């Protein structure tokens, strides 16, 4: 009864002011976690939000873990799952995707006590029906972390650019879960506009959209470039890349999702930072932003909306797409570099302001 009452209290605590973004705060995660891979799947007829790996509130290398949880969307109850089976230990900056109701946790990186970082080539496969891990899938051809990851037609997982051990790479690695094989996609253009880490994106129809991220250069400047990749449905490894510069594209470690035919980005920061939330440029802790970005494919319009109608949250590695219009973020980092256990369900609404 207490859990049910708590859920009702959270569901009633949402914003309903005219012209503002609607969101609901759901029951918190069992513990704070940031830089965790998030997705959604169905088990026994119920929709669940899943979280894998991440960083605890210590923000130290030793606080990077392999913990996993799921939350039942019907009652808000969180429960622990078996940890991600990576023998190399805890990791962050992985991403999780769901294809035909099976979850794939891909990439990420490990941090050693001496501060050295190693990108992962692992593909961990989780079965929501049995609530258990399967054997790992075929490893990534190139180990990757902080990459863009999105699903095409509930069949292929696109792993786009990202950081591989020593630098940003242009690779587009496409995983086919049905055959447990990797395809070599058309690389993004080999320049700082396209090669980034900490970007995020989605696929709508046959088109990839990704924005933000950290480019190569002094202190890894935040990118203000929006990218579009048109997939050839007859040969989905073939991608026609284009893009444009826009101040509205700037952002780092935002969550990306869709609301019908609109691409949406939530939160993040405009200053790039290390996993502890401290800026690469030496300015100290970075601010989490209360904002969303919207891209309308039909008009080619990109809009950045800063608004107090949204929570300020950053360090997000994915969103759980609940249905065609709603998605959930779980964890992340709040202002003051506070690792968060807060969970938000986002609903579509009109323009902000």
Predicted confidence (pLDDT) per residue in 72-123, tens digit: 999 999 999 999 999 999 999 999 999 999 999 999 999 999 999 999 999 9
Report whether 316 contacts 267 (CB < 8 A). yes
With respect to residue 220, please indicate whether it lies within any of the assigned structural domains.
Answer: yes
Confidence of residue 196 (pLDDT cuts 50, 70, 90): very high
The pLDDT of residue 12: 37
125 in helix, strand or coil?
strand
With respect to residue 327, please indicate whether it lies within any of the assigned structural domains.
Answer: yes
Which whole number is the average pLDDT over 116-138?
99
Kindly tell me if the per-residue pLDDT of 7 is higher than 90: no
CATH number at residue 190: 2.120.10.80
With respect to residue 120, please indicate whether it lies within any of the assigned structural domains.
Answer: yes
With respect to residue 353, please indicate whether it lies within any of the assigned structural domains.
Answer: no
Q: How many residues does the chain have?
A: 353
Domain count, the chain: 1
With respect to residue 352, please indicate whether it lies within any of the assigned structural domains.
Answer: no
Which whole number is the average pLDDT over 23-49?
98
List Cα–Cα distances, 322 to 7, 41, 98, 257, 308, in angstroms.
17, 8, 11, 10, 24
Percent with pLDDT over 70 in the chain: 93
Kindly tell me if the per-residue pLDDT of 19 is higher than 80: no
Kindly tell me if the per-residue pLDDT of 21 is higher than 60: no
Give the domain range for residue 131: 2-11+18-347
Which whole number is the average pLDDT over 210-222?
98
The whole-model pTM stands at: 0.94
Confidence of residue 160 (pLDDT cuts 50, 70, 90): very high
With respect to residue 268, please indicate whether it lies within any of the assigned structural domains.
Answer: yes
């Amino acid at each position: 009864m207490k859990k049910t009452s708590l859920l009702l209290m959270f569901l009633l605590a949402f914003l309903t002011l005219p012209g503002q973004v609607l969101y609901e705060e759901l029951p918190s995660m069992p513990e704070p976690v940031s830089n965790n891979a998030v997705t959604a799947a169905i088990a026994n007829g119920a929709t669940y939000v899943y979280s894998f790996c991440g960083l605890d509130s210590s923000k130290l290398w030793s606080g990077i873990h392999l913990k996993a949880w799921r939350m039942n969307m019907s009652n808000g109850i969180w429960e622990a799952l078996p940890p991600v089976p990576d023998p190399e230990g805890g990791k962050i900056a992985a991403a999780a995707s769901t294809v035909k109701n099976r979850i794939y946790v891909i990439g990420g990186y490990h941090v050693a006590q001496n501060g050295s970082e190693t990108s992962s080539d692992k593909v961990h496969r989780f079965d929501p029906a049995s609530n258990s891990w399967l054997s790992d899938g075929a490893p990534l051809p190139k180990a990757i972390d902080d990459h863009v990851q999105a699903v095409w037609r509930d069949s292929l997982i696109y792993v786009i650019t990202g950081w591989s051990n020593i630098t940003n790479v242009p690779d587009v690695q496409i995983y086919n879960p049905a055959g447990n094989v990797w395809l070599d996609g058309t690389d993004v253009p080999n320049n700082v506009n396209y090669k980034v880490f900490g970007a995020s994106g989605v696929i709508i129809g046959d088109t990839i959209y990704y924005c933000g991220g950290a480019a190569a250069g002094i202190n890894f400047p935040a990118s203000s470039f929006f990218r579009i990749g048109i997939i050839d449905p007859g040969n989905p490894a073939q991608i026609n890349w284009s893009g444009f510069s826009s101040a509205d594209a700037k952002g780092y470690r935002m969550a990306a999702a869709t609301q019908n035919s609109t691409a949406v980005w939530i939160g993040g920061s405009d200053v790039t930072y290390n996993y502890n939330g401290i800026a690469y440029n030496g300015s100290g802790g970075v601010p989490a932003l209360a904002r969303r970005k919207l891209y309308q494919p039909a008009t080619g319009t990109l809009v950045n909306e800063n608004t107090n109608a949204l929570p300020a949250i950053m360090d997000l590695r994915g969103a759980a797409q609940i249905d065609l219009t709603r998605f959930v973020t779980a964890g992340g980092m709040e202002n003051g570099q506070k690792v968060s256990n807060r969970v938000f369900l986002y609903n579509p609404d009109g323009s902000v302001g």
